[in-house]
Amino acid sequence: MNLHPRDANYADPSLHSHGLYIGGAWLPGSGIPIVDPSTAKVIAEVPDASIEDALRAVDAAEAAAAGWRTTSPRQRAEILRRWFSLMTDHSEELAVLVSLENGKALPDARGELAYAAEFFRWYAEEAVRVPGEFRHAPSGANHILVDHDPIGISVLITPWNFPAAMATRKIGPALAAGCTVILKPASETPLTAYAMARLGAEAGVPPGVVNVLTTSKPGPVVSAMLDDPRVRKLSFTGSTGVGRILLAEAARTVVSCSMELGGNAPFLVFDDADLEAALDGAMIAKMRNAGEACTAANRFYVQAGIHDTFVAGLTKRMEALKVGPGIDPATQVGPMITTKAVSKIDRLVSEAISRGAKVRTGGSPLSGNGYFYPPTVLENVPTDAEIAHEEIFGPVAPVYRFETEEEAIRLANNTEYGLAAYVYSRDLSRALRVGRGIESGMIAINRGLMSDPAAPFGGAKQSGLGREGGVSGILEFMEPKYFAVNF
């Protein structure tokens, strides 16, 4: 694959998947068209796996499991480190692929690739540092020794909004832990996952350790894998709605679940905040990936004394953004993933307007071939509007006014979600106090970005279960084993 933004050819056959990736072999197939959201044109077609294909992938993962779990941590680390290097060497081609299939602006795609590759480097480092325990039993009668085993065959399911990073955030720790995996990427954006699998093989990942399959029937296909008692782990990133279904399905075989689900991040700006810093942070928290991020600021709560200045500054910055095809080097905001996504944003914005919200910029879909929605700022939004309770997943910033710290915390917590939150204040003790009051897995203080492979990413409440990245991420793919020992 050799593609440059200048000569990107949508019909380039190297973009086409060469089949399902099972047991180290590419099994040809077709059936799922891949659409470039910037043009609404089909750019590739990938295979549509059946239940039988999925169970074949479980066979392959099982055949490779014993060999992989008994490789030394150092060997696994070296392979992941090589995969990191290959991802870095090929980051530009991969960024173009992400931009083509997802639509995101190239700078966002480049940022994603750097972030994605880091999970392989981080877990190359963590593979050799799995903790254990050894201590006296409180009774003094014996010793307690705790070791960690790889949990077993893991099914990894990823969404379309970060086609590279959501996959490496699971594959990295799973492989470091000694597990073999079946990755099912989103049908909208599987080309990056297949391309990364090729690099994995080149890095030395043995056949069957990583299997990749695409399907237009995720429900029955994933269900069949979860019903196979050889599968012991489900790591899912996606919507809370699908997460709930999968948790119920996993219950049948008591499969361990890690769930990275939806968000509804509040972005709190206090009167004493550094206004320019808050606006810079707001633009990152809202507009990275054109708002199609689970951590995207979904609700801006701004204290009364700074509210009007903040809205004016945000409007000016949002208006200045260039919307266009993701692959165009001048683009800052790409299209949404599908026409359905645009309709959802339109519905939320229209409902807010009908309830009294005022449009400062944007406010309705753009015409043309791709799936474009303009950067939008809304003020005077009622706090019970639908847009305050649903994930917008687009470039829309609704701004709400608050008076007191207590009110800000109450508003921030008025959601079933608890993934991410942002707090801007020059008073660090206030920022920390507010952060402690917010029911959320991640709090960014005076920053618009919190994602970091070295930090535990995940949510409270209905935003998820478990953490990815950081020191704890590898333990999601391990089973503690306790030995009661007499010397």
Least separation in angstroms between residue 349's CB and ligand NAD is 18
* CA pair distance 108, 288, nearest whole angstrom: 7
Binding to ligand NAD (CB under 6 A): which residues in 284-303?
A: 294
Is there binding between residue 464 and ligand NAD (CB under 6 A)? yes
Helix 73-89, helix 91-102: angle, nearest 10: 70
Binding to ligand NAD (CB under 6 A): which residues in 159-188?
A: 159-162, 166, 184, 186-187
* CA pair distance 130, 77, nearest whole angstrom: 12
Site string for ligand NAD, 413-432 (x = CB under 6 A): ------x-------------
Catalytic-residue membership of 260: yes
Considering only the stretches 114-122, 148-156, 218-226, 404-412, report the one whose residues sit in contact with ligand NAD under the rule CB under 6 A: 218-226
* CA pair distance 385, 351, nearest whole angstrom: 7
Is there binding between residue 101 and ligand NAD (CB under 6 A)? no
In this structure, is the dihedral angle defined by the CA atoms of residues 137, 140, 142 and 143, taken in order, positive or negative?
positive
Least separation in angstroms between residue 138's CB and ligand NAD is 38
* CA pair distance 373, 430, nearest whole angstrom: 36
Give Cβ neighbours of residue 6 (< 8 Å, ≥ 6 apart).
none
Give the CA count within 13 Å in the CB-facing half-sphere of 393. Answer: 21
Please select the residue that binds ligand NAD; options are 31, 107, 207, 218, rule is CB under 6 A. 218
Contact by Cβ (8 Å): 127, 178: no
Contact by Cβ (8 Å): 87, 116: yes
* CA pair distance 272, 317, nearest whole angstrom: 21
Catalytic-residue membership of 294: yes
* Closest CB to ligand NAD among residues 203, 474: 474
Is there binding between residue 246 and ligand NAD (CB under 6 A)? yes
Of 101, 126, 188, 260, the active-site residue reads 260
Please identify the residue of the shown chain whose CB is closest to the bound ligand NAD. 238
Please select the residue that binds ligand NAD; options are 3, 35, 261, 387, rule is CB under 6 A. 261
Please select the residue that binds ligand NAD; options are 152, 172, 200, 238, rule is CB under 6 A. 238
Of 292, 294, 391, 476, the active-site residue reads 294
Contact by Cβ (8 Å): 183, 171: yes
Least separation in angstroms between residue 104's CB and ligand NAD is 13
* CA pair distance 331, 321, nearest whole angstrom: 8
Footprint on this chain of ligand NAD (rule: CB under 6 A): 157-162, 166, 184, 186-187, 218-219, 222, 237-239, 242, 245-246, 260-263, 294, 391, 419, 459, 464
Q: Catalytic positions, please?
A: 260, 294
